Amino acid sequence: MRLDADFGVTAAKAESLRARVRGLGLDPARIEESFSRGGGKGGQKINKSANRVQLYYAPLELRVACQRERRQSLNRFLALRELVERAEMILSPKTSPRLAEFDKTRRRKARAASRAAEKYGEAPR
């Protein structure tokens, strides 16, 4: 996969993603890219164009597919961003923003549960 391609996003977003790829030490040459026709909503454009992007990174056994947008270039960017986030969860869990968000949500739910238990008593199981 070429990281210098035009993704159809701002230059700052593209460069930020490239920096994250370099920071994790992912080899862009080992990211396999495939395209297929999309499905679902979107009408004739979705049904006729190969805008669904699938990325596979063999060293970590990561596979990502994206078909959120109508444009293939934007779907490439979104799929690569998802791949980087998943790789970050595996390679660098302490710096992963996604894991931090999961942890924050888990703590918030635990706090709400303890407050409810304090107010209403333990719920029967």
The residues facing 56 across adjacent strands are 32, 63
Mean pLDDT, residues 111-124 taken together: 86
CATH code for the domain defined by 1-91: 3.30.160.20
The residues facing 32 across adjacent strands are 56
Residue 36 has pLDDT above 90, yes or no: yes
State how far the Cα of 24 lies from the Cα of 87, in Å rounded to an integer: 8
Q: Letter for the amino acid at 46? A: I
Residues whose CB falls within 8 Å of the CB of residue 85, separated by 6 or more in sequence, listed in order: 96, 97, 98
Please list the alpha-helical segments (H only) found in 33-96. Answer: 44-48, 72-91
| Highest-pLDDT range among 41-45, 66-70, 111-115 | 111-115
Here the tokens at position 9 are 């996003």
pLDDT value at position 124?
60
Q: What are the DSSP E strand ranges found in 1-125?
A: 31-36, 52-57, 62-66
Q: Letter for the amino acid at 124? A: P
pLDDT value at position 16?
93
Here the tokens at position 121 are 């008593």
pLDDT value at position 123?
64
Lowest mean pLDDT among 1-5, 10-14, 24-28, 33-37: 1-5
Mean pLDDT, residues 92-102 taken together: 86
pLDDT tens across 47-78, in order?
Answer: 788 889 999 999 999 999 999 988 899 999 99
State how far the Cα of 74 lies from the Cα of 7, in Å rounded to an integer: 6
Domain boundaries, the chain: 1-91, 93-125
Residue 105 — very low, low, confident or very high, per pLDDT cuts 50/70/90?
Answer: very high
Q: pTM of this prediction?
A: 0.79
